[in-house]
Chain A
Amino acid sequence: MNAANYLYLSALLFTIGAVGVVLRRNAIVVFMCVELMLNAANLSFVTFSRINGDLNGQVVAFFTMVVAACEVVVGLAIIVTIYRSRRSASVDDASLLKR
């Protein structure tokens, strides 16, 4: 199977994630889109690892997963806290840093 197809899929997933981050208001969905982008990147790494025939890309993918796991822990905690204090998970409502 042509390796380039994996890259196309990766690009597609990344774009879907990016568009979701920009367009969706719900923090949980935005978060999931971020995860989608990370995984799109992972897919690229693994694909390039396969193409180049070494393990560097596979190793980086593991690192990404670890980082993503940490990010989920911290991010979900923040989202839950925001939801508790503001009764809303909309990212547009949390625009207080402007002032």
Chain B
Amino acid sequence: MMISNSLVYLIALPLAGAAILLLAGRRSDKWGHLLATALSASSFFVGLYQLSLMLGRPSEQRPVGQKLFEWISVGTFNIDAGLLLDQLSICFVLLITGVGTLIHIYSISYMSHDPDRRRFFAFLNLFIAAMLLLVLGDSYLNLYVGWEGVGLASYLLIGFWNQKPAYATASKKAFIMNRVGDMGLSFAIMIAFATMGTVSFTGVKAAAEQTSTAALTGIGIMLLVAATGKSAQFPLQAWLGDAMAGPTPVSALIHAATMVTAGVYLITRSNFIFDAAPTAQLLVVIVGAITLMFGALIGTAKDDIKKALAASTMSQIGYMILGAGLGPVGYAFAIMHLLTHGFFKAGMFLGAGSVMHGMNDEVNMRKYGALRKFMPITFVTFGLGYLAILGVPPFAGFYSKDMIIETAFNSGGIKGIILGSVTLLGAGITAFYMTRVMILTFTGTSRWDEEAHPHESPWLMWLPMAILAVGSVTSGYLLSHGNALVNWLSPLFESHGEHEELLSPIVVSALALAMVAIGVAVAFMKYSRNEVEAVAPTDVSIFTTIARQDLMQDHFNEAVFMRPGQVLTDVLVKTDEVVIDGAVRGIGRAALGSGASLRGLQNGFVRSYAALIFIGALALIAAIWVVVQ
């Protein structure tokens, strides 16, 4: 592998930004945001430079590595802190730093009234650095450091306004649920080390061939658990909706474009494990299929614009996970959907932020309406993202999502038909809820509160939105033109033979478009022709009620995990109090009690002391007499 000494700058630049801003404190309030943005941008340019170098080399020489330092060295077990930039990482590097920089620019204006803007930018830079470490680490252990780093940054940013108790709780919820997933990753690393003796990607890939399927399945399932936690997939999905408590740029960057896609990266990166462990791979597909329906159904019932988008993110990542679970044919399409989704979903979140900016931070879509006239740029950029997520040709989602649907259909047998139908149905529901968001927000009559004065956002905010909108329009075509991304990534994955086609691409596209058309039509029938109520109606069907409550995910977690957990801790606390504390206090009480009763002998009367001395002397003499006899 080639060595490059400039990889470290990708991470070091934003990390330095975070350190400077946090250490300089209030002194850097005036220029901190500019420095953070500049460092994020320079990291992006380092990424572009690396891409240009990579493009100039033949495909087998494209991966470059850099050894930072010797991290752990125990006997034959050596782990270096090393970086690996290959065809897969570079996609992520450019997505993270590119979208990240745009969101930095957006935040300069969005957070301009916040007294803690500098701290916000420090955390954003910390996130960029951690996320880059996640995708650049050359072993599972290095990845794990970044994995925890993004979790920390996510926690800090969700709870950025932690003066509100609900927001602080949301950040803790996200952190704790992520922790469950992190445990999966650490177990996977432990199993890998126990069975293969190595945790580096190249080492594990080489050793995977001689490893038993059972061990690989174990690693695969644990990696899947990790992915479900970080990517908000079933059954660890409940934190994502609450994570919208963070400032909107955070939702766009971390909880839509980058961090939540780390699970897809993990599964794609571990392709050699999943390809050799069909059971784990099947579970990946099942998780993806469940989540994509789960998110889509929640999305149909949410009135909070950010939570609707969060549900949509969950659903779209479900598509990616499903794609990644389809094996070598699907990895590239999962990554392609990840990249296009990074553009259009980040763009839509920034659009939502722009709407909130103009509407006094109102998030309830029922209080919007008719904003098209007042926010034309937001409407257009959001609309382009909307067309992209629907999968309308020639927008980005058309290429990436249709590829996943097509691959799902062609994955063979009954499984293919089920998966294909689920993805197709998901596309229809996506069209429904996204159209609902568009109608409620931008068209119809105004249902604003009295003090709302909607206005277009300043250029610092709409410029990133416009750039992302351009990405939403073009990225799909660019990535799939001449199979560009598939060919680019193909050296990383096992080659796959020709598979039989159940449905041809044109049929799949037609079916998907038909589903989209149905979804859009239903949404129009329901929301555009009738007046939308400003207050959510309560006389709704049981299904709507359940969907509004996130399909009872919190109720389930509380009933199955939280309450028994509380009972368990109560029992343990009681045990601690009664048994352990009881033993300690009992010893103390025994000493105290015996002392109190013996103290009675010290009555201060000389004569009783004298009597005791006599008794003692007599007893002593008697004892001696007995012994001598």
Chain A residues in contact with chain B, CB under 8 A?
Answer: 18, 21-23, 25, 30, 91-92, 94-99
Question: Which residues of the partner chain B approach A97 to less than 8 Å between Cβ atoms?
Answer: 604
Measured CB to CB, the closest approach of chain A to B449, in angstroms, equals 77
Stretch of B284-292, B425-433, B560-568, B607-615 lying at the A interface: B607-615
Measured CB to CB, the closest approach of chain A to B369, in angstroms, equals 86
Of A18, A21, A25, A95, the residue contacting B603 (CB under 8 A) is A95
Question: Which residues of the partner chain B approach A98 to less than 8 Å between Cβ atoms?
Answer: 602-604
Measured CB to CB, the closest approach of chain A to B270, in angstroms, equals 78
Measured CB to CB, the closest approach of chain B to A69, in angstroms, equals 21
Contact B604 A96 (CB under 8 A): yes
B605 interface hit (Cβ, 8 Å):
yes
Contact A95 B605 (CB under 8 A): yes
B606 interface hit (Cβ, 8 Å):
yes
Contact B614 A94 (CB under 8 A): no
Measured CB to CB, the closest approach of chain A to B558, in angstroms, equals 60
Question: Which residues of the partner chain A approach B603 to less than 8 Å between Cβ atoms?
Answer: 95, 98
Most chain B CB atoms below 10 A, which of A21, A22, A92: A22
Of A22, A25, A91, A92, the residue contacting B614 (CB under 8 A) is A22
Measured CB to CB, the closest approach of chain B to A50, in angstroms, equals 23
Measured CB to CB, the closest approach of chain A to B610, in angstroms, equals 5
Most chain A CB atoms below 10 A, which of B606, B610, B611: B606
Contact A95 B611 (CB under 8 A): no
Of B602, B604, B607, the residue contacting A22 (CB under 8 A) is B607
Known: A18-B614, A22-B614. A92 touches B607 (CB 8 A): yes
Since A92-B607, A96-B604 are in contact, a sample of 19 more A-B pairs with Cβ atoms closer than 8 Å, ordered by chain A residue number, is A18-B614, A21-B607, A21-B610, A22-B607, A22-B610, A22-B611, A22-B614, A23-B607, A30-B607, A91-B605, A91-B606, A91-B607, A92-B605, A95-B603, A95-B604, A95-B605, A95-B606, A98-B603, A98-B604
**Cα(A25)–Cα(B607), bound, Å:** 8
Q: How many A-B residue pairs have CB under 8 A?
A: 27
Contact with A along B286-311 (1 / 0, CB 8 A): 00000000000000000000000000
**Cα(A21)–Cα(B608), bound, Å:** 10
**Cα(A22)–Cα(B603), bound, Å:** 14
The chain A residue with its CB closest to the CB of B617 is A18
The chain A residue with its CB closest to the CB of B602 is A98
**Cα(A33)–Cα(B610), bound, Å:** 12
The chain A residue with its CB closest to the CB of B618 is A18
Q: What are 25 A-B residue pairs whose CB atoms fall within 8 Å in the complex? A: A18-B614, A21-B607, A21-B610, A22-B610, A22-B611, A22-B614, A23-B607, A25-B607, A30-B606, A30-B607, A91-B605, A91-B606, A91-B607, A92-B605, A92-B607, A95-B603, A95-B604, A95-B605, A95-B606, A96-B604, A97-B604, A98-B602, A98-B603, A98-B604, A99-B604
4 interchain residue pairs of minimum CB distance: A98-B604, A95-B604, A22-B611, A91-B606
**Cα(A94)–Cα(B604), bound, Å:** 8
Measured CB to CB, the closest approach of chain A to B472, in angstroms, equals 89
Measured CB to CB, the closest approach of chain A to B159, in angstroms, equals 60
Measured CB to CB, the closest approach of chain B to A45, in angstroms, equals 17
Measured CB to CB, the closest approach of chain A to B618, in angstroms, equals 10
Question: Which residues of the partner chain A approach B611 to less than 8 Å between Cβ atoms?
Answer: 22
**Cα(A25)–Cα(B610), bound, Å:** 12
Which B residues between 82 and 134 are near A, CB-CB below 8 angstroms? none
The chain B residue with its CB closest to the CB of A96 is B604
**Cα(A99)–Cα(B605), bound, Å:** 12
**Cα(A97)–Cα(B54), bound, Å:** 94
**Cα(A99)–Cα(B599), bound, Å:** 11
Measured CB to CB, the closest approach of chain A to B605, in angstroms, equals 5
Measured CB to CB, the closest approach of chain B to A41, in angstroms, equals 13
Question: Which residues of the partner chain B approach A22 to less than 8 Å between Cβ atoms?
Answer: 607, 610-611, 614
**Cα(A22)–Cα(B610), bound, Å:** 6
**Cα(A23)–Cα(B607), bound, Å:** 7
Measured CB to CB, the closest approach of chain A to B156, in angstroms, equals 62
**Cα(A18)–Cα(B604), bound, Å:** 19
**Cα(A71)–Cα(B243), bound, Å:** 89
The chain B residue with its CB closest to the CB of A98 is B604
**Cα(A30)–Cα(B602), bound, Å:** 20
Question: Which residues of the partner chain B approach A95 to less than 8 Å between Cβ atoms?
Answer: 603-606
Measured CB to CB, the closest approach of chain B to A38, in angstroms, equals 14
Measured CB to CB, the closest approach of chain B to A93, in angstroms, equals 10
**Cα(A99)–Cα(B606), bound, Å:** 14
**Cα(A92)–Cα(B605), bound, Å:** 6
Measured CB to CB, the closest approach of chain B to A23, in angstroms, equals 7
Question: Which residues of the partner chain A approach B614 to less than 8 Å between Cβ atoms?
Answer: 18, 22
The chain B residue with its CB closest to the CB of A15 is B614
**Cα(A91)–Cα(B607), bound, Å:** 8
Which B residues between 576 and 629 are near A, CB-CB below 8 angstroms? 602-607, 610-611, 614
Question: Which residues of the partner chain B approach A94 to less than 8 Å between Cβ atoms?
Answer: 606
Question: Which residues of the partner chain A approach B610 to less than 8 Å between Cβ atoms?
Answer: 21-22
Question: Which residues of the partner chain B approach A99 to less than 8 Å between Cβ atoms?
Answer: 604
Question: Which residues of the partner chain A approach B604 to less than 8 Å between Cβ atoms?
Answer: 95-99
Most chain A CB atoms below 10 A, which of B605, B611, B614: B605
Question: Which residues of the partner chain B approach A91 to less than 8 Å between Cβ atoms?
Answer: 605-607
The chain A residue with its CB closest to the CB of B599 is A98
**Cα(A6)–Cα(B606), bound, Å:** 30
Question: Which residues of the partner chain A approach B606 to less than 8 Å between Cβ atoms?
Answer: 30, 91, 94-95
**Cα(A50)–Cα(B603), bound, Å:** 43
**Cα(A94)–Cα(B606), bound, Å:** 8
**Cα(A93)–Cα(B227), bound, Å:** 85
Measured CB to CB, the closest approach of chain A to B484, in angstroms, equals 97
**Cα(A18)–Cα(B611), bound, Å:** 8
Measured CB to CB, the closest approach of chain A to B430, in angstroms, equals 86
Contact with A along B158-178 (1 / 0, CB 8 A): 000000000000000000000
The chain B residue with its CB closest to the CB of A27 is B606
The chain B residue with its CB closest to the CB of A23 is B607
Question: Which residues of the partner chain B approach A25 to less than 8 Å between Cβ atoms?
Answer: 607
Measured CB to CB, the closest approach of chain B to A99, in angstroms, equals 8
Contact with A along B395-419 (1 / 0, CB 8 A): 0000000000000000000000000
Measured CB to CB, the closest approach of chain B to A84, in angstroms, equals 18
